[in-house]
Amino acid sequence: MAVTPIDLVKCNKQNNPKIFTSGMFGNMGIVMKNKGVGGLFKGWGPTLIGYSLQGMGKFGLYEVFKHKYGQIVGEENAVKYKVLLYCCASASAEFFADILLCPMETVKLKVQTVGIDKWLKGEGHGYARGALDGFPKLLAEEGWGGAFKIISPLWARQIPYTVIKFVAFEAIIEQIYKYTTSAWNRPKASFSKTEQLGFTFLAGYTAGVICGAVSHPADMMASLMSKNPDMPGGAIEKIKTLYGKGYKDTPATGFAGLWKGFGPRVFMIGTLTGLQWFIYDTVKVTFGIPTTGAAPPAK
């Protein structure tokens, strides 16, 4: 929820490029000039609800699947093929987490982008004020099918994003402690919990930048499909249409158009992922559970 202002300008850079013509801070200025600082948090409600549900599914099920898959393949293979284990566990977790996220992600995209020009002029609230009126409107106009219409591009965006998010994080945090052990003679156990949480944020932020870059084209398509709910055809056909010739007032993206809003999103995802891991490990520490990331084996 804290990065809603970045998300707001990123989504509108993708969906309303004729209005949001500047960089991240310039586009924030457009909103603030017309709606004040509070305007930057348009869509905070569905963001809070949707990503709380998704985070519960993603982080919780990741631990479950990692444990269960480890039991299936055995302890020796779980260590030997740990990267593959992380990939399978995170992909499985995200598949179910996105089902929890999808309805509110659809509402969020519509609240933030549909009718934004009139909202900036003070002519109504756009699609809706937030989750409380946006979700009933979505169900009334498009039904549950509309609430899950972007599930395919959401999976295409989130599953690679999450696999990289967990695998890259696990790899980066392990390399950090390998470095501190070899260069500083300080293994993980020698650092305080606060210092370990600092390393957690650093590894999480770095992993977030990587996975934000990889998943950006799918994020672009999810935004455009949400903007055009009346498009005919299945998900693949819609993506081909948006990429090749466009639809109504949405011009064809082409390859270059897939990267609109790239800068704000990478900054947003890096910050978001770093904070997610930081909060997650803080909760673990609070309950006496070790921080994420195994220390390298002693030699």
Question: Is residue 207 within 8 Å of residue 165, measured between CB atoms?
Answer: yes
Structure confidence at residue 251 (pLDDT): 78
Structure confidence at residue 296 (pLDDT): 47
Q: For residues 89 and 82, give the distance between their C-alpha atoms in angstroms, rounded to a whole number.
A: 10
Structure confidence at residue 177 (pLDDT): 93
Question: Is residue 106 within 8 Å of residue 150, measured between CB atoms?
Answer: yes
Nearest Cα neighbor of 15 from 273, 242, 234, 267 is 242
pLDDT in tens, 238-255: 888 888 888 877 878 888
Structure confidence at residue 299 (pLDDT): 43
Question: Is residue 217 within 8 Å of residue 227, measured between CB atoms?
Answer: no
Structure confidence at residue 294 (pLDDT): 58
Please provide the average confidence, as pLDDT, over all residues in the chain: 89
Q: For residues 168 and 56, give the distance between their C-alpha atoms in angstroms, rounded to a whole number.
A: 20
Q: State in words which class domain 4-286 has.
A: mainly alpha
Q: For residues 132 and 45, give the distance between their C-alpha atoms in angstroms, rounded to a whole number.
A: 8
pLDDT in tens, 51-100: 999 999 998 999 899 999 999 999 899 989 988 998 999 999 999 999 99
Q: Tokens for 230?
A: 């009346």
Structure confidence at residue 69 (pLDDT): 96
pLDDT in tens, 155-190: 988 898 889 888 899 899 999 999 999 999 999 989
pTM: 0.77
Q: For residues 299 and 292, give the distance between their C-alpha atoms in angstroms, rounded to a whole number.
A: 21
pLDDT in tens, 120-132: 999 999 999 999 9
Structure confidence at residue 237 (pLDDT): 80
Domain positions in the chain are: 4-286
